[in-house]
Structure 1
Amino acid sequence: MKSMDRIHKINKLIDRIENELGSERNAMIGDKWNPPVVKQTYMHPVPRRKDQIPIVADLEYPLWARVLDFSVKEFYTDPLTYLEKQLEMSLYRYEVFRDDSGLGRTIAIWLGVNFEPSLLGCRSVYPDHLDPLIDRSLIIIKDEESLKELAAGEIDIRNSGILGLAHEFYDRIQETLPGDWKVIFPDWVIGPFGVAACLRGYENILADLVLAPEFFMRILDVVSDKMIEYSRERAKFLGIPIERPNLHHDDVNDQNFSSSAYRRYVYPAERRLNSFYGGFQYWHSCGNVENFLDDLLEFVNLVMLDCGGWNDLDVFLDAFKRKGIEGVGIEKRFNPVRDVIGADDRTIRDKLRGLYNAAAGNKRLNLDFKIDGIGELGDHQEMVGRVNNFIRISREFGF
């Protein structure tokens, strides 16, 4: 598509969103959340306790590409494609899924899980039909000496890794959108262990945990230092205070770490970050984290905690009660295969009924539901239909 044709299409999408921003329906959705009231990549607002638990839905980008007909590689490398498709996704959630994401004047730039490792030397790979990857054949941290070299280097907010691409996206999207829209420059969201696994190699870093635990912890310390360094440079570039981050840590789970291993070897780095930032906006892992849930609840100013598709909400609620936790929101995500794609209507109703019953016993609980992780598990129209069906059934329930 020619650039001017794309700009024209983008402007029409913006007009459609602008026409809905003041609508009664969008206002009703906004009333379900504390500010910011739109769910996007970097924004995890705390849900308000209302008659119904708000539900939001998302697809993996390779599946979005089939639904909205675009190239995944182009989405991650061309700013106008990214902007156009993000606008289309927002409208699709609003008009087709009819979930509680809402519409707003914000575009968050998300360049993939390769973003943070790229800042420290990893090479990015862009498949045609998949999300970006890092080249796992390149090991950045080979030994103590290479770790020292990594620690001594500085992040160039203009040029390190794929930051040149980030600036291209930021500048082009800003100049295309109306002046009252906000563009969020990429933030560092992947936790220390996740980035360390990219720099050291997954097998190597897990072997270090057993054979060289002090080296393991030094790696996480260096990565944490780099996250802090990036946050300072980002804030300086944007002319804003350092922001409280999300911490996404899919690799931190019960399968990789026992309760004692997490507390001894991973938690210290996360606790130091928590102290530096004065809290976390959102702590997330796609895996089961029940073994060290009590440690997560020790973080100060934790705004939202992820309860993923392999976690039991009752276990979270018991921990909240045991530790006297109030005011922390929970995002309950569903197992995409067991709970959504592969579930019949009765199974979905039983699942939702159980969650509502659990939440009903805690009047101060701020809880939302999220459907995500929906990838290329079959025909894309069938996947969309299953998501729509789940949301439709969820509307049958309330307090």
Structure 2
Amino acid sequence: MYAPDSTLRDRTFDRLKKSIDGKPSDGHSVFFYYTYPFFQNVTGVDLQEYYHKPEVMLEVQQEVYEMLDNCGSFAPDTGAVAECTGLGGQVRFDAHGFISVKEMEIETLEDVLQMKPGDPWGDNYMRIGLETFQYMLENAPKHIKVNPPVLHGPFTVAAQLRGISQMCMDILVEPDIAEALLEVCTETSINYLKEIEKVMGGPLHHILVGDDISSFLSKNQYREWVLPYYEKIFKEFPNMQRWLHNDANAAHLFSEIKDGGWDAWQYAPSIDPLAALEGSEGKVTLLGGLNPVALQKKTPEETYDLCIETLKGFKGNNKLVLGPGGSVNQVPIENLKAILKAADDYKI
């Protein structure tokens, strides 16, 4: 039982820790993946200031978390471009100010071999992530944790630089190009993580890895072109928890994700939670069960009722954690509060 003065944040994070550790708890936790479209939707922040001014990013995130009983953690948030820009990718912004990276002009193996691993402190968004992380560690209120920047899987980084279709084609007809590009992306990831640890002043507890694009691959391709590069990264950080954000349709990769040694996986809303639990043999904490697009149109009352039904469907297994299967983006903040309340009310 929790102390009478425990907070919703305390209970939510304690249940999440117990799920990761394989320990029983009195209920299910909640996990939200907060990113810049959500923060802009709630606060109206100018995204150019949000991306590029650490004090603005911290202030905006704090404002939102205060609306949610502080159920969130600060983190640098500049989209999926950091590693790409370290390798020469150029950023672009759409009409909403959302950030992405342009495909590079890569035509031959020699083009790739000339690429150098990204310098985390160079003129790129890895540096912005590190500087923002440092600012947050120094200035965030002590009752809210600061998480490191999201890392992006080597295949996802390579596919952004090469183009998704072309990268998938490369592994079939130009495997030397694919291998060389994945090697330089992997080395860049390792360099970035080492600098993140230096800023943190100690070893990383966990890292969240974004890797949706790898779901385009078959089981055998995933084992050949994704898992070995993860192992190169995690060999350098053996005690770091591995959290995966892959909210594409990865139902065909249950065994491969399990064998990747992930501690937690945020999966797609199209995947049945019990199927994911069975496919991962109960070895991975599974984050999801709700469709973020459907949640946009529901009232808080409807959201609460849906959550209770979803929690019942978890069959009492706390390896299943409640949350939208992807970024919360345009989900109303009152609906997020309803999700937190439902999970706190529902007891196993």
Normalised to the residue count of structure 2, the TM-score between the two structures is 0.81
The residue identity in structure 1 corresponding to 2:327 is: G
1:81 aligns with 2:56: yes
Unmatched segments (≥5 aa) in structure 2: none
1:367 aligns with 2:332: no
Q: Is the 8 A contact 1:217 1:266 kept in 2?
A: no
1:118-129 residue pairs with structure 2 within 5 A?
118-127=85-94, 129=96
Residue among 312, 336, 347 paired with 1:356: 312
Deviation at 1:119, TM superposition (A): 1.1
Identity of aligned residues (%): 19
| Cross-structure match for 2:167 | 205
Deviation, 1:169, is: 3.1
The corresponding residue for 1:14 is none
Aligned pair count reads: 341
Cα distance in 2 for partners of 1:59, 1:238 equals 21
RMSD: 3.5
TM-score normalised by structure 1 residue count: 0.72
Q: Give SS of 2:214's match.
A: coil
SS in 1 for 2:259: coil
Aligned residue among 319, 322, 330 for 2:279: 319
Instruction: Select the structure of larger CA radius of gyration.
Output: 1
Separation in structure 1 between the aligned mates of residue 62 and residue 247 of structure 2, nearest angstrom:
26
* Aligned: 1:71 with 2:33: no
Q: Distance in 2 between matches of 1:167 and 1:274?
A: 20
CA pair 258-30 structure 1, distance change in 2 beyond 3 A: closer
1:29 and 1:215 map into 2 onto residues whose CA distance is: 45
- Which residue matches 1:135? 102
1:268-283, aligned counterparts within 5 Å?
268-278=228-238, 280-283=241-244
Stretches of structure 1 that go unaligned for 5 or more consecutive residues are 1-21, 36-43, 96-100
1:144 corresponds to which residue?
Answer: 109
**Structure 2 matches for 1:84-103, cutoff 5 A?**
84-94=59-69, 101=71
Whole-angstrom CA distance in 1 between matches of 2:140 and 2:245: 30
Say if 1:236 and 1:271 are closer, same or farther in 2 by CA, change over 3 A: same
Displacement of 1:166 in angstroms is: 3.8
Instruction: Please state whether the residue corresponding to 2:322 is helix, strand or coil.
Output: strand
Alignment of 1:284 onto 2:284: no
SS in 1 for 2:37: helix
Counterparts of 1:59 and 1:162, CA distance in 2: 19
- Cα distance in 2 between the residues matched to 1:391 and 1:185: 24
Kindly indicate whether residue 206 of structure 2 is the aligned counterpart of residue 248 of structure 1.
Answer: no
Q: Contact 2:117–2:184 at 8 Å: present in 1 too? A: no
Q: Which residue in the other structure is 1:162 paired with?
A: 125
- Residue from 32, 39, 50 that aligns with 2:15: 32
Highest RCO, 1 vs 2 (Cα 8 Å, sep ≥ 6): 2
Q: Secondary structure at the match of 2:97?
A: coil
Shift in Å at residue 235 of structure 1?
A: 3.3
Match of residue 75 from structure 2: 108
Match of 1:227 among 189, 196, 199: 189
1:384-399 matched pairs, under 5 angstroms: 384-389=333-338, 397-399=346-348
Deviation at 1:273, TM superposition (A): 2.9
The alignment status of 1:298 with 2:265, answered yes or no, reads no
What one-letter code is carried by the residue in structure 1 that aligns with 2:99? P
User: In 1, Cα distance between the equivalents of 2:30 and 2:144?
Assistant: 25
The CA distance in 1 between the partners of 2:174 and 2:78, in whole Å, is 33
